[in-house]
Amino acid sequence: MATTNAKGQTPQEAYNARKIKMALSGMKIAFLLPISAIIQNIFNSSVTDTVSRQLSDKVIVSIIISIVLLGIGDVFAGIFTLIYNMAKGKGLKEYKRTVSMKISWMMLLAAAFAGPLATGCWMAATPFCGLTTVAIITSLGPILTAIFGRFFLHEKLNTRIYLGIVIVIAGVIVAGYSGASGAGNNFILGVILAFMAPIGFAAEGQFSTFVGDIIDPNVGCGFFRCFGSGIIGLVCMAILAAATGNIAAYGLIFKIVFTKPVTLLFVAAMGLLGAVNYNSAYLAFNRTGPSRTLAIDSSRPVWSIIFGYLFAFLGVQDYSVTALAIAGAVIVVVGLFLVIGKPSELVNLRNVE
Amino acid sequence: MQLPLKTRILQYALLQEGDFTVDDIMKGIEKEYRSERLFNKKQVEEYFQSFVGIGFFEESRLEFDNNGDLITYCKTTDYAKDRCKMLM
């Protein structure tokens, strides 16, 4: 029996290399998150503008439009994920087996935290406490994830990684800073609502990883994060629309989406990018841990500059960037190097015996 | 009730007294899943490796076969047993 392989590795070295390779693949997958989110946002903005122009500009209607479009996009994401899973042999039979396990429904809880709850509170907070305050609070997701992950999932993180996450957040805040915003009309309520967003995203990371440890994360994601979250969002907004006298606007959103082919195509594109985004997240959570994954996801300021110039070059949309945004992107890169810069640490992702 | 493949692999491992390899798992659950395209060595290895990564499985013995491919003998950890009581 051979004592070394073709690469000259001992069995222990080959074993460690395999573990690191798996975790590194999770990190590579995690980089699809910010990229897919930025491109999805372009389609999302376009569709939201199209629909909003034909409806009331009341804040409540804006929230209903955003969450309904997100919900329809999530249902499309579920269809695309099902097609992908079926191509890999994880068809309806595997879906049925997964859904019949009680613990898998915890993923629906995760989806509800991240979808309607976090997104809804995020949007609702802005009029109460201002755009800048909301942007700063919502960028705290990775550090909350790291704190929760240490206790809930026993994620193995060290001081350098915590420092890296803090620097990434600082970079995100610098890049997104748009000057001191007005305090809004109910600052405390706004801050409470805004905090629900990072808490929701952090909770999603913990719960979905907890369940994804036991079931296939892509199957769970396809059913619960895509279909589940989409349907919850649509039902919640139907109730909200009915309660606030906006049920006609709610119905009109569907009419606009499903009777205009270009709008429908854009919503389907949102769904496809959502499928890439959610599935990448759930797989990366499982392979490299939610803290590293969400830190990588926070590199959006860097990618937004790259894609901004790319789309400007292609003539898709105009783009310009401020010095502050570039400074923020540089800070994010420094933080990311601290988070992901030492692959040998990936041999053990959790503090377990 | 038939379990999802990944969960069944974990259950099989939890119920073993000694250590096990990917091939042992394949043989152990083959009758239940052999008609399915999902059930292939690449997929089972991927699930096996994900359990290693999160600390559900730990190596008990490592060796190369005659082709220089790594054979990993694993056992489940107390962390896995604690987390997955419903499967035992």
Separation CA A24–CA A136 (nearest Å): 29
Q: Within an 8 Å CB–CB cutoff, is residue B50 touching chain A? A: yes
- The answer to whether A219 contacts chain B (CB < 8 Å) is yes
pLDDT computed for residue A264 by the predictor: 96
**Six-digit token string for A203:** 């909770």
Q: What are A108-123's pLDDT values in tens digits?
A: 998 888 877 887 788 7
Does residue A329 belong to any structural domain of this protein? Answer: yes
Residues of A in contact with B59 (CB under 8 A): 15
* Inside any domain, residue A1: no
Q: Does A344 touch chain B (CB under 8 A)?
A: no
Q: Which domain holds residue A318?
A: 25-347
Report d(CA A65, CA A119) in Å as an integer.
Answer: 12
Torsion of CA A322, A328, A334, A339, to 10 degrees: -140
User: Are B38 and A100 within 8 A, CB to CB?
Assistant: no
Q: What is the pLDDT of residues A200-225, one digit of tens each?
A: 999 999 999 999 999 999 999 999 99
**Which residues of chain B carry a pLDDT beneath 50?**
none
Q: How far apart are CA A148 and CA A160, in angstroms?
A: 17
Overall domain count for chain B: 1
pLDDT above 90: residue A347: no
Q: Using DSSP, state whether A101 is helix, strand or coil.
A: coil
DSSP A352: -
Residues B6, A88: C-beta atoms closer than 8 Å: no
Residue A344: both structure tokens together = 């040998």
Chain B touched by A96 (CB under 8 Å): no
Domain boundaries, position B9: 5-87
Nearest Cβ partner for A353 among B5, B63, B79: B79
- pLDDT tens readout for residues A142-160: 999 999 999 999 999 999 9
Q: By the CB < 8 Å criterion, does A343 face chain B?
A: no
pLDDT at residue A311 in the model: 82
Contact B74, B60 (CB under 8 A): yes
The 10s digit of each residue's pLDDT in A225-282 is 999 999 999 999 999 999 999 999 999 999 999 999 999 999 999 999 999 999 999 9
Helices (H), A31-158: 32-52, 59-87, 92-99, 106-112, 120-129, 131-138, 141-152
A178 pLDDT tier (thresholds 50, 70, 90): low
**What φ, ψ does residue A342 adopt, rounded to 5°?**
-130, 85
| Burial group, residue A154, by CB count within 10 angstroms (0-12, 13-18, 19+) | middle
The answer to whether A156 faces chain B, any CB pair under 8 Å, is no
Residue A335 has pLDDT above 90, yes or no: yes
Question: Dihedral (C-alpha) A206, A209, A211, A215: value to the nearest 10 degrees?
Answer: 170
- Tell me the count of A-B CB pairs closer than 8 A: 97
According to the model, what pLDDT value does residue A58 have? 82
pLDDT of residue A128: 83
Give the closest of A94, A214, A349 to B38, CB-based: A94
Q: Are A225 and A71 in contact (CB under 8 A)?
A: no
Residue type (1 letter), A301:
P
Please state the domain count of chain A.
1
Q: What is the domain-level CATH number for residue B34?
A: 1.10.10.10
**Backbone dihedral angles phi then psi of residue A92, each to the nearest 5 degrees:** -60, -30
Whole-number Å distance between alpha carbons of A223 and A284: 18
Which of the four pLDDT bands, split at 50, 70 and 90, describes residue A183? low
CB-based contacts of B4: which residues, under 8 Å, 6+ apart? A94, A97, A98, A101, A215, A216, A219
- The reply to whether ipTM tops 0.85 is yes
